[in-house]
Amino acid sequence: MNPVFMSILLFLSMSMFVGTMADRYWLMRSGENLKMTDRPWERFKSLMIIGFGQQRLLYKRWAGLMHVTIFFGFLVVFTRTVTLVGRGFASDFHLPLLGGNLGLVYALFKDTFAILVLLAVFYAIWRRLVVKPSRLHLNFEALVVLLWIAALMVTDFLADAALFIQQPEHAEKGWAWVSTIAAGVFSGQSESVVAGWGNTMFWLHIVLLLSFLNFLPFGKHFHVITALPAVFLRRLTPSAALEKMEFEGREVFGVGRLEDFSWRRFLDMYTCTECGRCDEMCPANLTDKPLKPRSIIINERDQAYGMADHLVAVGKLKAQGKTAEAAAAVEAMTRPALIGEVNDVEAIWACTTCGWCVSSCPVMIDHIPNIIDQRRYLTMMEAKVPTVLQGALKGLENNSNPWNVSSAAREDWIGDLEVPLMREKGQADYLLFVGCSGSFDSRNSDVMRALCTLLNTAGVDYAVLGTEELCCGDPARRVGHEYLFQMQAPANIANFQKYKVGKVLTACPHCFNMIANEYPDFGLEDVEVIHHSQLLAELVREGRLKMKGTEKVAVTYHDSCYLGRHNNIYDAPREVLSAIDGIEQREMPRNHREGFCCGAGGGRMFMEEDLGTRINHNRIDEAAATGAAEVCTACPFCLTMLGDAIKETDRSESLKARDIAEVMLANLDS
């Protein structure tokens, strides 16, 4: 017990920590303002389930269990550390409620968790030095931190062990079972030696803890401090929904400099654990494109730390409301270009927005909005879009479809099929939103005709907009042309309101996501959006569509990213296929949440893939390996990409691609 020394130690260490955290706060404030404190109850639930509950780390991973063990063990032992700090002032100090029997139970749990932490630390070191998973970088800092944590556990054990030798009747002896066993280390030692060891371990534990606290903000382990706030302050909108951009009063569209990011993006930079889970199944990364989602965040963080003094100054100016001075400071700063030098331009365009990175990140980092914001800057501020995209954007602007086919041809797919038009019918239970693929791509027009035949057979009351329909806006928005997107969305919403639409049915997951999750920001209210797989499954359950199992074929189902991972619709398409007796379903290794992208999302449908191997080839290889004769999907983009991959890999004789609606129609008991 040395109150003076403990006071000096606490004052110095906490002063350093508070100063460092103040700088990190002001740096974060250099970003644009953003309110993220709405829906507090949902945020609290996220904090409990994802933050403290470590939900995403426990998804099919021993490594996750290791991390969770360290996390909870550290929390348990931290209570002990607070007690030890108190004993620096009074030798009999204990926290409230921990002075009696509850304290003895805590001693038992504390030692048990500390041992589990040591085992988890050694497992983590073994993985890094021996197993060497591809997603992990061998990082000296990580090894140091692991040994630092182990030292905290060991010093606590030895401090108590010495105490039990000095006080054989101590109440915690036996309960703190590891320390009781460790007391054997001091057996036969003189009282002064034991006391010296006890004091050394006590103060070493305190110094290690306080130095660890001050070390955290300077490396990747800053997430120990920022992870829980990051989870609480996470984006609560659906994973594929992008933030609405307001054009009025803005001079910069998108993000071309760090200061253009919101403060929440800086929190992402602080919180990245560099675990590599985002890279692990990124389709661009796995097919040798320059994109690694982890690198995007780390590159930005490294630039932020390199510009720390400047960003802190800007943050303070913005906090004081001195926007003109802050803007001048931003303009005066010379730095490497965010897009082109910090982040590779090809990496920004390689993203398919499949959502794997966002869904796998344990600390809720938003990689996709980050990338799209940089695309917005390239597209709207610098007019630097890949040449192959220019035709699609021109088509969207002139004819509201990326194929640039005359908008007057939107009804040509109907042919002689009986498909009611909303302008003639006035109202219907379902508005069938056909989408650009269904309207203008001949292969997907076949799918729409199959779907309409099924709807007619089941007696579903539906109608289509025909020439009144515009592109949903997904391609424009995903490539960063927010202005062009905002030309499409309000016009479609106006038509929905004009016909008092209550339910929108679509066979395109991209249209589904856009209408369900992004149109509400533009005034769409009280409209239920249904994917055709959901309605078809319902019609089968109700007996309105009966299958006769004409075909005897093995199929494998491909999960669309925008249907599955982004909107959690996995079962309905499989239920449709299961309703057909002759269909044998074979799952690909990467399925459901781990389903692999076809390569068409994020506007990539209209771009060339000339780096690395083709994403759709990677996926079709996996489909073919199941031995299935067909790969089925429920997305027009996926159908196109998989069909192309079949042809390009010379598998047309052994494999074909079909939409679930086509499979149903071929097996319909009419």
Indicate whether 422 and 318 sit together in one domain.
no
DSSP state of 544: S
Averaged pLDDT, 444-452: 97
* Residue 653 CB coordination number (10 Å): 7
Q: Give the Å distances, CA to CA, from 553 to 451, 580, 627, 631, 666.
A: 21, 10, 11, 11, 12
Percent of the chain, pLDDT > 90? 75
Where residue 60 falls among pLDDT bands split at 50, 70, 90?
A: low
For the segment 139-162, what is each residue's pLDDT rounded down to a tens digit? 888 899 999 999 999 999 998 899
Averaged pLDDT, 614-626: 97
Residue 338 is part of which domain span? 258-381
Supply the CATH number for residue 620's domain. 3.40.50
Tokens 């930005």 identify what position?
A: 300
Q: Among 202, 224, 246, which residue terminates a domain?
A: 224
Residues near 179 by Cβ (< 8 Å), separated by ≥ 6?
Answer: 111, 156, 157, 158, 160, 161, 163, 164, 172
For residue 8, being part of any structural domain is answered with: no
Residue whose C-alpha is closest to residue 605's, from 469, 478, 439: 478
Q: What is the rounded distance in angstroms from the CA atom of residue 193 to the CA atom of residue 16? A: 34
pLDDT of 3 over the 90 cut: no
For residue 137, being part of any structural domain is answered with: yes
Q: What is the rounded distance in angstroms from the CA atom of residue 562 to the CA atom of residue 288? A: 23
For the segment 303-323, what is each residue's pLDDT rounded down to a tens digit? 999 999 999 999 999 999 998
Q: Among 338, 362, 381, which residue terminates a domain?
A: 381
**187 vs 121: which has the higher pLDDT:** 121
Indicate whether 438 and 353 sit together in one domain.
no
Indicate whether 399 and 335 sit together in one domain.
no
Averaged pLDDT, 502-508: 98
For residue 29, being part of any structural domain is answered with: no
Q: Among the listed ranges 60-74, 101-115, 423-437, which one has the minimum average pLDDT value?
A: 60-74
Averaged pLDDT, 253-262: 95
pLDDT of 42 over the 90 cut: yes
pLDDT of 45 over the 70 cut: yes
Indicate whether 359 and 407 sit together in one domain.
no
Which pLDDT score, from 0 to 100, does residue 1 have? 63
Indicate whether 435 and 507 sit together in one domain.
yes
Q: Give the Å distances, CA to CA, from 322 to 27, 81, 262, 311, 318.
A: 16, 43, 17, 14, 6
pTM: 0.92
For the segment 473-495, what is each residue's pLDDT rounded down to a tens digit? 999 999 999 999 999 999 999 99
Residue whose C-alpha is closest to residue 596's, from 550, 629, 645: 645
Indicate whether 68 and 167 sit together in one domain.
yes
Residues across the chain: 670
Dig out the tokens for 547 from the structure.
């299958």
Indicate whether 327 and 451 sit together in one domain.
no
Averaged pLDDT, 564-571: 96
* Residue 130 CB coordination number (10 Å): 7
Averaged pLDDT, 321-327: 91
Indicate whether 475 and 412 sit together in one domain.
yes
Which pLDDT score, from 0 to 100, does residue 549 have? 75
What's the start-to-end Cα distance of the chain, in Å? Answer: 88
Q: Among 531, 559, 582, which residue terminates a domain?
A: 531
Indicate whether 293 and 193 sit together in one domain.
no
Domains contained in the chain, number = 4
pLDDT of 640 over the 80 cut: yes
Residues near 177 by Cβ (< 8 Å), separated by ≥ 6?
Answer: 108, 111, 112
Q: What is the rounded distance in angstroms from the CA atom of residue 299 to the CA atom of residue 617? A: 30
pLDDT of 345 over the 90 cut: yes
Strand order in the sheet with 462-464: 462-464, 430-433, 503-506, 528-531
Secondary structure of residue 642 in the 3-state scheme: helix
Averaged pLDDT, 10-35: 95
Indicate whether 209 and 315 sit together in one domain.
no
Which pLDDT score, from 0 to 100, does residue 251 have? 86
Percent of the chain, pLDDT > 70? 99
* Residue 14 CB coordination number (10 Å): 13
Q: Hey, which of 140-149, 183-192, 322-331, 455-464 has the most confident mean pLDDT?
A: 455-464
Averaged pLDDT, 556-570: 97
Averaged pLDDT, 272-290: 94
Bridge partner residues of 553 (DSSP): 583
**Host H or E run for residue 239:** none
For residue 233, being part of any structural domain is answered with: no
Contact 529, 512 (CB under 8 A): yes
Mean pLDDT for the chain overall: 92
Averaged pLDDT, 133-144: 84
Averaged pLDDT, 402-426: 94
